[in-house]
Structure 1
Amino acid sequence: MPDPALARLLGPADVRRLADRLDLRPTKRLGQNFVHDANTVRRIVRTSGVDDTDEVLEVGPGLGSLTLALLPVAARVHAVEIDPALAGALTGTVADRAPELADRLTVTTADALRVVGADIGEPTAVVANLPYNVAVPVLLHLLAELPSIRRGLVMVQAEVADRLAARPGSKEYGAPSAKLAWYAGAVRAGPVPRAVFWPVPGVDSGLLAFTRRDPPAGDRAATFAVIEAAFAQRRKALRSALSGWAGGAAAAEEALRAVGLDPMTRAERVDVGTFAAIAAHRG
């Protein structure tokens, strides 16, 4: 195992100095809140379970705080950054603070929502401080486009972590929970205090760990269409909520009874496998 001391991690003064050098003004549009606490990035890497057999995908590396903590541990880090200035500066930061590890880093300037396997190869894990405004679609996109990803640990807004990890029957369970469950099992992996970020965000943050698993039998696009219809009117019984999708309430009831569901059941009680079965019945 490589020595983590090979990388000099960033502290608050380093982050501000790098930002000043780039004339960087963090924007809410890009979800830019940079971690400046070395203990936090060490905890993220440790909790992720990444080792020297992993090729890690990091989305939104920013100024490089987490990147520097990943490089001594992973076989390779593929960093995807949408901001050209940050992407351009990252290799220099790594060359300065972890020169022995610089050849392990690949930086791609791209929107993570458009990344495909041809752009970054076959990463085995995702470890990232995801931009909070697009965290859910980015995570779902990566799992759909990169089947090589087997596990990950992402930092997201705390309530988003709660929703993604939620199980059927809980008040947090919704369309994001069911869609993520198509790809992976997910659990909350701890809180992250606001004080470790610059600028300090106006929301609480949390870690979400996930492990890929086989999807249920059925078609993903058809299943997601059922999930979206069901949760678009989550307060209504599925007989009513799915009437538009099924072509009428009677057809929705037929599909629901075919999979053993009471038509008066609400979406929040249904797991992804049952949503897939409903989709297959109509299909």
Structure 2
Amino acid sequence: MSPETDEVNGPAERADSAGLLGPAQVRELAERLGVSPTKKLGQNFVIDPNTVRKIVRLAGVEAGDRVIEVGPGLGSLTLGITETGADVTAVEIDHRLAEELPATARAMQPGVFPTDGPARLRVIRSDALEITAEQLAALPAAPEVLVANLPYNVSVPILMHFLELIPELRAGLVMVQAEVGYRVAAGPGSKEYGAPSAKAAWYGEWRIAGKVSRQIFWPVPGVDSVLVGYERRAEPRGSEAERALTFELVNAAFAQRRKMLRQALQPVLGDTSRTVGVLEAAGVAPTARAEQLGIEDFLAICRAAGS
């Protein structure tokens, strides 16, 4: 699949949709629950089973994987994940959707709730930005894969929160607004590169895995979407204290991205003399600007500041 040109959509490929939600079922569920997708919650429900299966396949989800999903909504993507035999922990803010999801899964895929073993679906009723390590510690085992159709209005904060909160995450695939996706996956020097790009790179490698047709959503959004894939680094880049200071440096640098680093980083590093000294010790030109630096450069500045 060519990540820059191919679209992930349903019409080009027909498949048996048994066990998954189609357009009519999604609308029927929404009507019965009194749910109307809202911009406030960034809700756009996926209604095409073929697309769901393609997303799950691109995510590389296999039987036995421990997946965490954010914003499962009516369960379209959830059922695509459980269909593989994976275990799913779904985080849902809407109490109606959170309460209904297990019933939907039980009706569509009875094997998700076996009589002779543990359930393969559990739902945490919570705002994704407020979920805690204590809540996740109550799970049978830590999630290892993130697969989600993230709410457009808070996709980056949610992504960063989960990457920080769950060090066991080894991979992920998220559907986000195209502009956001390209920003997350961008490298230094590109026009999309910014603070989210640098922070995401702290955790691992990112790629655009595919484009998504607007027509697979209900309601049809006014923006394009992409799939962004992720693989965590084998070893952490640094300590938690180093991550915190590095991210503070990233924020300061991109808050004044038109300024040279010797000016932009003063709120964190101190006066001009000290800032220049730290930059030079890190091997970074004081006249450089934020978009020229990769995450390793920001980490080098962090370490120089503490030496």
Whether these two folds match at TM > 0.5 is yes
3-state DSSP of counterpart to 1:43 = helix
CA distance in 2, matches of 1:215, 1:137: 20
Kept in 1: contact 2:185–2:206 (CA 8 A) = yes
Aligned match of 1:200: 220
Letter of the 2:77 partner, please give it: L
Aligned counterparts, 1:160-199, within 5 A: 160-199=180-219
Structure 1 stretches lacking a partner, 5+ long: none
Letter of the 1:215 partner, please give it: P
Residues 125-176 of structure 1: CA deviation (Å, up to 9, x unaligned): 0011011111111111111111111100000011111011001111111100
CA distance in 2, matches of 1:183, 1:191: 23
1:130 pairs with 2:150? yes
Aligned match of 2:63: 52
Letter of the 2:209 partner, please give it: A
1:98 pairs with 2:118? no
Aligned match of 1:215: 236
Structure 2 stretches lacking a partner, 5+ long: 1-14, 114-118
Aligned match of 1:32: 43
CA distance in 1, matches of 2:164, 2:143: 13
CA distance in 1, matches of 2:108, 2:193: 42
Aligned match of 1:235: 258
CA distance in 2, matches of 1:136, 1:215: 20
Aligned match of 1:113: 129
Kept in 2: contact 1:116–1:146 (CA 8 A) = no
Aligned length: 280
Distance 1:96 1:56, change over 3 A: same
CA distance in 2, matches of 1:74, 1:228: 41
TM-score (norm 1): 0.95
Please provide the CA RMSD for this pair: 1.5
Distance 1:253 1:221, change over 3 A: same
Aligned match of 2:6: none
3-state DSSP of counterpart to 1:27 = coil
3-state DSSP of counterpart to 2:173 = strand
Letter of the 2:174 partner, please give it: V
Q: Percent identity at matched positions?
A: 54
Residues 175-231 of structure 1: CA deviation (Å, up to 9, x unaligned): 001111111111000001111101111111000000111332351111100000000
Distance 1:117 1:54, change over 3 A: farther
Distance 1:54 1:13, change over 3 A: same
CA distance in 2, matches of 1:15, 1:260: 55
CA distance in 1, matches of 2:144, 2:269: 38
CA distance in 2, matches of 1:8, 1:237: 56
Aligned match of 1:281: 304
TM-score (norm 2): 0.88
Kept in 1: contact 2:61–2:86 (CA 8 A) = no
Aligned-pair CA distance for 1:249: 2.1
Letter of the 1:185 partner, please give it: E
3-state DSSP of counterpart to 1:30 = coil
Aligned-pair CA distance for 1:242: 0.9
Aligned match of 2:272: 249
Aligned match of 2:53: 42
